[in-house]
Amino acid sequence: MLSRRKFLASTALTSATIAATSARSYSNILGANGKVNIAHIGIGNRGEQIINDFDKTGLVNVVALCDVDMGAPHTQKIMNKFPKAKRFQDFRQLLDKAGKEFDAVTVATPDFSHFPIVMACMQAGKHVYVEKPMSRTFLEAELMMQMARKNPHLVTQVGNQGHSEGNYFQFKTWFEAGIIKDVTAVTAHMNMGRRWHKLDPKMKTWPAPQPVPSTLDWDTWHTTAMPKPYNDLYHNGEWRCWFDYGMGALGDWGAHLIDTVHEFLDLGLPYEINPLYLEDHNDFFFPMSSTLLFKFGARKGMPPVDITWYDGLKNLPPLPKGFGGAVGAADVPATNQGQVQTTLSPGKIIYTKDLIFKGGSHGSTLSIIPEEVAKEMAPKLPEVPKSPSNHFANFILAIQGKEKTRSPFEINGVLSQVFSLGVLAQKLNTPLYFDAVTKTITNNKFANAYLTGAPPRKEWEQYYKV
């Protein structure tokens, strides 16, 4: 086991560690002619949806399937759909035994395991599509971005599919046309029922051990994390609520709500993260409700921006005059966990010096409020181009050198780091002051150590090398 001191020393978070590899033109990317051979890692629940979405593009051949529980009911449908695909329970065996047979992988595993799987696949020369959030810790995102810079011939895409739908192209067009300008504040809210969060905030110990399902490789499920005794409160989506395994509502929905704001306003990293309200804060899992303030500095002639995040069923944001009804979330995949209670549909409110915009999540487009201002602005709005491809086809077409991915690691990685800082403020329940140049937390040495996360367990350290 690496000591924390040695691990921190070997992965110092300074700007000097970032590789200065020059990017190649996407037109030079080598990809398969015709269909791309692909392997899927994590094939149940959300993984099943991703696999079906890629299959609908007509651009891939499914060569292999990999999941830590290949005998579970939630993985059977995909195995039955692709009976000729090779099957593996460990992604390392997939790469060792079938790596020469595919060009690209998708990763739809729990948040904490994205990093080692992605790094292993890129080390093996594979193009990677990974679900959001891209990573769980600040360091993981840093190393994943470094790996992408070191290997510019490898195509990367993070699964915030709204980046290939209406909201992305509208925001880009309105920003470039000066319709969206001088943004000073953003409210992002996710007030749906916390379907993964039904635990007792007063708990003092981890859940009691249960028998491991006979078909599940529980040790490999943990990847780099120190294993805990099995309990079904960690498995099948429940992992999302635990600080050790998931990123909570912020990591789950943040990439669908503030992604375009973050990218096109070039926000980078915040200088302050402040937990304004945490309901039932505890050491094990995410609060029942959270209000987080992210403060971003002025840049490129644009004013400072405050982003305030609200989650929790009753933790509703203040709504501006003329807000009207909530925006329905567009292009949202059906959840595998049934209907969820909703007080206010997930969305965002963007405040500028002159205008206010409201929008939903994923691909939902913005509207100007109040209505009378929207009518006045209507003749001034530029035409918004349609997306040339959905998010899944965009990834495959980029491998073939025909497009460029719209949510590569170089763009989504910094957003993932924003989320990791927010989660750290939630976990420690304290304001954090962050230096984006040295990439350190300046007011809390204990919090600063958390940027790296816990050292990986023995025989998993190799994935932390770029």
Asked if 99 and 121 count as a contact pair (C-beta separation under 8 A), the reply is no
pLDDT (mean) for 428-456: 95
Of the candidate ranges 30-39, 260-269, 371-380, the one whose mean pLDDT is the lowest? 30-39
Q: Which residues contact 462 (CB under 8 A, 6 or more apart)?
A: none
Query: b/e string for 413-443 if b means 16 or more Cβ within 10 A?
Result: bbbbbbbbbbbbbbbbeeebbbeeeebbbee
Question: CATH 3.40.50.720 residue ranges in the chain?
Answer: 4-161+393-417
Instruction: Note the pLDDT of residue 17.
Output: 36
Is 43's pLDDT higher than 80? yes
Burial (CB count within 10 angstroms: exposed 0-12, middle 13-18, buried 19+), residue 392: buried
Question: Is residue 8 scored above 60 in pLDDT?
Answer: no
Q: Which pLDDT belongs to residue 375?
A: 96
Averaged pLDDT score across all residues of the chain: 90
Question: Considering only 245-254, 256-265, 302-311, 327-336, which range has the smallest mean pLDDT?
Answer: 327-336
- Whether pLDDT at 337 is above 90: no
Per-residue pLDDT, 381: 97
pLDDT at site 331: 57
Tell me yes or no: is domain 4-161+393-417 CATH 3.30.930.10. no
What average pLDDT score do residues 33-55 get? 93
Please state the pTM of the whole predicted model. Answer: 0.91
Query: Which residue did the predictor score with more confidence, 24 or 387?
Result: 387
